[in-house]
Amino acid sequence: MAIMSGQTALSLEEQSFADRTIAAQSGKPGALLGILESLQEHHPNKYLSADVLEYVAEKTDIPLAQIYSVVTFYALFNLEPQGDHTICICRGTACHTRGSRNLLQRLRLELGLPEESEEGADKLCLTTPDRRYSLRTVACFGQCALAPVVEVDHEIFGHMNERTLHRELEHLQSGRKKS
Ligand code: FES
């Protein structure tokens, strides 16, 4: 149940979790990053709502603008609800030269996601209307020897091609475990 408390619309459970998270991170180096990461992970749709950010600002006395600058700087933070499954394609140079663009196009087609300009491809984040899948891109996973690299639900796959990518998507769609 979401209720208004002070200036926040967070549920009591959300407030309680945020309070405990902020207390646990208090005084630690990188406390704000740790707080935001925990709160994002706690949300079923893995994102940071405006209400959550305002609550953190209020409780930590960190200016809201500073918090927004952090969440927009780091690619790991989401300001929109994410899908149940996330597929992340590397758009770094090594992966690009080994076909990551084709993998991206293939997934867009299979998931029915819209085309975007190539200029924005290195920061892509699209979610299907049913919120089943999010498609993201990353600048480099640091696994260039395995190019092209794709991450599926936090699991890294190297030397990916369109056939193996399609197979992983089928696994997700059927709910089956990978073989
Ligand atoms: S460029 Fe893709 S992992 Fe480095």
Rounded distance from Cα 146 to ligand 1 centre (Å)? 8
Residue 141 Cβ contacting ligand 1 at under 6 Å: yes
Q: List the domain boundaries for the chain.
A: 2-73, 85-174
Residue 150 Cβ contacting ligand 1 at under 6 Å: no
Rounded distance from Cα 67 to ligand 1 centre (Å)? 29
Rounded distance from Cα 74 to ligand 1 centre (Å)? 17
Architecture label for domain 85-174:
3-Layer(aba) Sandwich (3.40)
Spatial separation of the C-alpha atoms in residues 54 and 62, rounded to whole Å: 10
Is the model's pLDDT at 178 over the cut of 80? no
Higher pLDDT residue, 77 or 120? Answer: 77
Tell me if 58 sits within 8 A of 35, measured CB to CB: no
Ligand 1 atom at minimum distance from 100 CA: 2
DSSP 8-class letter at 8: B
In a 3-state reduction of DSSP, which class is residue 88?
strand
Is the model's pLDDT at 121 over the cut of 80? no
Q: Which of 3-17, 90-104, 163-177 has the highest mean pLDDT?
A: 90-104
Ligand 1 atom at minimum distance from 146 CA: 3
- Residue 3's pLDDT is 42
Query: In this predicted model, what pLDDT tens digit does every residue of 37-82 receive, in sequence order?
Result: 999 999 999 999 999 999 999 999 999 999 999 999 988 899 999 9
Q: Could you tell me which residues are beta bridge partners of residue 88? A: 136, 151
